[in-house]
Amino acid sequence: MASSPANRRYNKRVIVLSLLYAAFLLGAVYAFKHHLLSGPAAWIAAILPALAIIGIFAAIGLYLVEEQDEYLRMLMIRQTLWASGFALSIATVWGFLESFELVHHVESYYVAVLWFGGLGLGTCANKLTIGRGR
Amino acid sequence: MNNRLKVLRAERNWSQGDLADKLEVSRQSVNAIETGRYDPSLPLAFKIAELFELAIEDIFVSPSKEA
């Protein structure tokens, strides 16, 4: 992705949220492993890493709102479409395979992991099609 | 969409970066438009036309009129 003021803000937000995600996740894993939490505190600790991931989704949305360059905005929209199609397709196939007990259960948060992987796929698709400009 | 952007830019000795600065877009946008890989919105097409003091149809070739 090319660097624009909106892109720089997006990168900063994603870095901060990624650090928060790592901190929340490590904290939650430690606390649950040592049985330090129960009741509402356990729920909050379990949800905090998810909130950081949701923050990254929001950062992408903010980027699309703030990006003044229509071409760069379109590239990101294409990336998110690829990501959504990729993640939802795999999740759907896996869901059916799991229903028929052909594969083991996978935690649903892996859909987000697939979606972020799909963003990378979208970057490749952009470069192979319209985004070849250096 | 085919266009004369590269020619018009070259006539003024502007680099893609120069044109991008004047249009307040990224150099990648200029490159994509020049090479016909991206069709600009109407507001951006007007901005380009006004910068070169030409009509939009003097810069961009209508798809229906392309050979």
Is 70 exceeded by the pLDDT of residue B58? yes
Residue-level pLDDT at A130: 81
Mean pLDDT on B15-21: 96
Cα distances from A91 to residues A84, A107, B18, in angstroms, run 10, 11, 46
pLDDT surpasses 50 at B51:
yes
Q: Is residue B61 part of a domain?
A: no
Which pLDDT does position A3 carry in this prediction?
78
In this predicted structure, the answer to whether residue B63 has a pLDDT above a threshold of 50 is yes
Whether the pTM exceeds 0.90: the reply is no
Structural domain of residue B28, as residue ranges? 5-55
Counting the structural domains of chain B, the total is 1
Would you tell me the crossing angle of helices B27-34 and B16-23 to the nearest 10 degrees?
110
Residue B6 has pLDDT above 80, yes or no: yes
Is the Cβ pair A71, B35 closer than 8 Å? no
Give the 3-state secondary structure of residue B3.
strand
Phi, psi (deg, nearest 5) at residue A38? -155, 165
**CA dihedral of residues A40, A43, A44, A45 (deg, nearest 10):** 120
Q: Rg of chain B over CA atoms, in angstroms?
A: 11
Q: Provide ipTM, 2 decimals.
A: 0.91
Find the distance separating the first CA and the last CA of chain A, reported in whole Å.
11
Say if B39 falls within a structural domain: yes
B67 has pLDDT over 70: no
Does the residue B65 lie in any domain?
no
- Among A93-97, A99-103, B14-18, B61-65, name the one with the lowest average pLDDT: B61-65
Contact B27 A70 (CB under 8 A): no
Q: Do B26 and A130 touch (CB under 8 A)?
A: no
Distances (CA, A) of B28 to A22, A134, B55: 34, 7, 23
pLDDT at A131: 63
Is B60 domain-assigned?
Answer: no
Cα A127 to Cα A133: distance, rounded to the nearest angstrom: 8
Nearest to B34 by CA among B11, B2, B67, B56: B2
Distance from CA of A13 to the nearest CA of B (A): 21
In a domain, B15, yes or no: yes
* Chunked mean pLDDT (size 10), chain A, 134 residues: 85 97 96 93 96 97 96 96 98 97 95 96 92 51
pLDDT at position A134 is: 41
Cα A112 to chain centroid, rounded: 5
Of A29, A118, A28, A35, the C-alpha closest to A82 is: A118
What's the confidence (pLDDT) of residue B54?
96
Domain presence at residue B63: no
Does residue B29 belong to the interface with chain A, where contact is any CB pair within 8 Å? yes
Look up tokens 């129960």; give the residue.
A38
CB contacts under 8 A, A 52-81 vs B, are 68-72, 74
Q: Which of A1, A69, A75, A130 to mutate to test the interface with B (most CBs of B within 10 A)?
A: A69
Whole-number mean pLDDT of chain B? 93
Check CB contact under 8 Å for B28 and A132. Answer: no
CATH number at residue B36: 1.10.260.40
Nearest C-alpha of chain B: how many angstroms from A93? 34
Residue type, A97: L
φ/ψ of residue A83, rounded to 5: -60, -45
Query: What is the structure's pLDDT at A15?
Result: 97
